[in-house]
Structures are given as structure tokens and as C-alpha cells.
Amino acid sequence: MSIFGRRKKKKLEEQEALAQQALEQKANEEKTIEKKTPEEPEISPADTQVNPQNVTSEEAAEIDRYNRGLEKSRRTFGQKLTALFTNFSGVDDDFYDDLEETLIGADVGFETAVQISDEVREEIEAKHENDQKVISNLIVSKLVSLYTRNGTKEDNHLVFATEGPSVFLFVGVNGVGKTTSIGKLANRFKKRGKKVLLAACDTFRAGAIEQLQEWGKRDGVPVVSGPEKSDPAAIVFDAVKKAKAENYDLVLVDTAGRLQNKVNLMKELDKMRRVITREIPHAPQEILLVLDATTGQNAMSQAKIFKETTNVTGIILTKLDGTAKGGIVLAIRNQLHLSVKYVGLGEQVDDLSPFSPKDFVDGLFSGFLEPAK
């Protein structure tokens, strides 16, 4: 690694330390109230082209959400690529250092940036490539393949029970959009004919129970709850018993997001899991970590902590439309080996979309892949 790369690594380590400090401070803000708001194969860049004649109205709506939601990231990434190739006269060590800097600026993380830069260097040197358009396409191609190379096409799909109720636990710190994500998913599944039940198990944060109850009213789905500071395990017990007795398809469980005492949080979540599994074998089918995309490396720090305390099965990445650094999706996949299941692409109730690597690639990189001369 060049001296420039080492300097960047040191700078990034300092930024991550500051992000961790910010995370610890946020975890101590117990009264934070979330803002209320009303399956893919491996992909190559050429596969991102869509034939309008083969797209349903629902698929077209999802594609449009990705295009709109990733506009800020797409525009910023385009500017960075343009800057990278300004006065381009060939590849040398400075070019690869600048490439790393560009990728880090897109929030793909230091390790991922170095990995992509090394892969690009290897292919350029093997083919003695010096054409700007070919190199630009190569960079995007490496980013595209990064998400899919270590997983299967089913990784980004939610797992449902083959029979009986499915149970999804939602974890995450206060303020990331956890309760709002639950409300939006409840709305989505109800529209698709599912019988949905909500469980208000975040009993310690002021206003959390009322917020989920408000979502229940909007969505027209019942909410199992109890008084503030009651035992979350008791609430989830009541919820799964009701789900079994009344033939619900899906139970969505809100949980506390207190990180200042990881031991207590781990014990609380473990107790809830045991209660659920005792009543419904093989449940919970999903433990979904909700992260705020706009917090960048701070979100990565949160993910690392929650992976230490519970068996996270996937990510819901909120507010992706509010960040210029959509590369956080790639960083989560590459560094934490977790799949993104849903992404928030706007503030409307239907703007929480299943994560599609294909639509993500098209929304983030469309316009950058040009034919080489």
C-alpha cells in the first residue's frame, strides 16, 4: 500500500473512532423519539437495462422509486467519477490512490475501497488497458459484482414460515426509523392479503408504544401492548399466543434500542427469542436490524454492536434517499456479510421497498456505463 493509502487509512480510523463516540452518545439519549411519518441473480452492468414491454406496473413503480431515491447518491457519485477522470492521461499510483479516495467518499469503507482498487489495478495491468471509458466501466462493474459474489440470489429475500405465523423481530437504536419501518411493512403485507399483528415490545422509550399504536390505526392492524416499562417478553408472549389462536400470518415485533448496557440488551432479546421459539418452533424467522443510511460509518458501528448481541439475519436501510453516499449498501455487504432486505427510498408509506441488487445498480450507476471507443 502506498504512503497515500496509509495516510487515508489512518484518517478513516480517526473518523470511525469519532463515529463510535457519536454512537455511544446517541445510545444514552433514552428519550429520543423517532420522527413520525405518515430476488436476484448475479448481475453484470449490461443486465441493468430494462425492457419497458416486460415490466409490470408494480415493477415499474419500484424502479421509479429506486431512480428517485438514489438521485442524490447517483449525482454525487457521477461528480466524483468525473473528477477522477478530469485531465486523465493514464494510470499510475496516484490514479489508484485517487480511486480509493473516491470510493471512500462514497462510503463504501476503507477495506472495500482498497479491495476494489486492487482488483481494478490487477485487471488493467493484465490487459494493459488505458482507455478511460473501459476503465470507468471496469470500476462500476467491480462495484456491481461486489454485492452478489459472496451470496446467493435468495439472500435479500425475507424468510417466512412454511406453516403458521411468521415472526420478525426488529432491532436498532432509537431514531433510525425502526417503528416507522414496522408500520410501513405492516401496510405492505396487509395490502398483499396477509393477516398482520404488531407487538409493542419497546416498553422503555417514551412514546414508543403510542407511536406503534398510531401506525396500527393507520394500517388497520391490531397492536398487542402493555404499560410502559413492562416486561417485553410478556408482551411478545401475548402476541404470539394471539397469533396462533387467531391464525395470523405475520407478527412484527418492535424492540428496545438501548445500547449503553449491551449485556442487558442481549439478555432481553435472548429472553424474547426463547419465548417466541417455545410458542412457535423455528421462529423468529427474521431478526432485522434497522439502520439509518445518512449516518454512514456510524451505522456500520451500530451493525457491529448488534451482531455481537444478537443473531441479525438482515438489514433494513432507511433514508437511503437522504444520503449522497449510497455505497454504504456495499460496505455492509462486504464488511459485515449481511444482506440488505429492504431500503427506505422516501417518506411515503409505500417508499419502503424490497432490496433489489438489480434496481439498486441501475438506480446508482445508470448513465455512467458508456460504450468504449
- Confirm whether 220 is domain-assigned: yes
How far is CA 33 from each of CA 157, 180, 204, 228, rounded to the nearest angstrom?
30, 11, 11, 15
CATH of the domain at 236: 3.40.50.300
Distance CA 100, CA 162 (A): 45
Distance CA 65, CA 195 (A): 26
232 and 351 belong to one structural domain? yes
136 and 189 belong to one structural domain? no
pLDDT by position in tens, the chain (length 373): 555 555 555 555 655 555 555 555 544 443 333 333 333 334 444 444 445 455 577 778 777 888 888 888 878 877 787 888 887 778 888 899 989 988 888 788 888 889 999 999 999 999 988 888 888 888 888 887 876 665 555 567 899 999 999 999 999 988 899 999 999 999 999 999 999 999 999 998 889 999 999 999 999 999 999 999 899 999 999 999 999 999 999 999 999 876 656 778 788 888 999 999 999 999 999 999 999 988 877 888 888 888 877 889 999 999 888 877 777 888 888 888 888 999 988 888 988 988 887 777 777 776 665 544 4
Q: Using the 8-state DSSP alphabet, how is residue 200 labeled?
A: E
At which residue does the C-alpha cell 449522497 appear?
324
pTM of the model: 0.78
- Confirm whether 45 is domain-assigned: no
Last residue in a domain, options 153, 174, 208 = 153
236 and 261 belong to one structural domain? yes
Q: How many domains in the chain? A: 2
Contact status, residue 170 vs residue 290, Cβ threshold 8 Å = yes
CATH of the domain at 113: 1.20.120.140
Distance CA 81, CA 132 (A): 11
CA nearest neighbour of 327 among 163, 100, 175: 100
Q: What is the pLDDT of residues 115-133, one digit of tens each?
A: 999 999 999 999 988 888 8
Number of Cβ atoms within 10 Å of the Cβ of 2: 12
- Confirm whether 81 is domain-assigned: yes
Distance CA 339, CA 220 (A): 30
CA 85 to chain centroid:
30
Domain that holds residue 348: 166-356
How many residues in the chain?
Answer: 373
At 42, the amino acid letter reads E
- Confirm whether 369 is domain-assigned: no
Euclidean distance between the first and the last CA atom of the chain, given in angstroms as a whole number: 32
Q: Grid coordinates in use for 300?
A: 456500520
Burial tier of 16 (Cβ tally within 10 Å: 0-12, 13-18, 19+) = middle
| Residues β-bridged to residue 316 | 290, 342
Rg of the Cα trace of the chain? 22
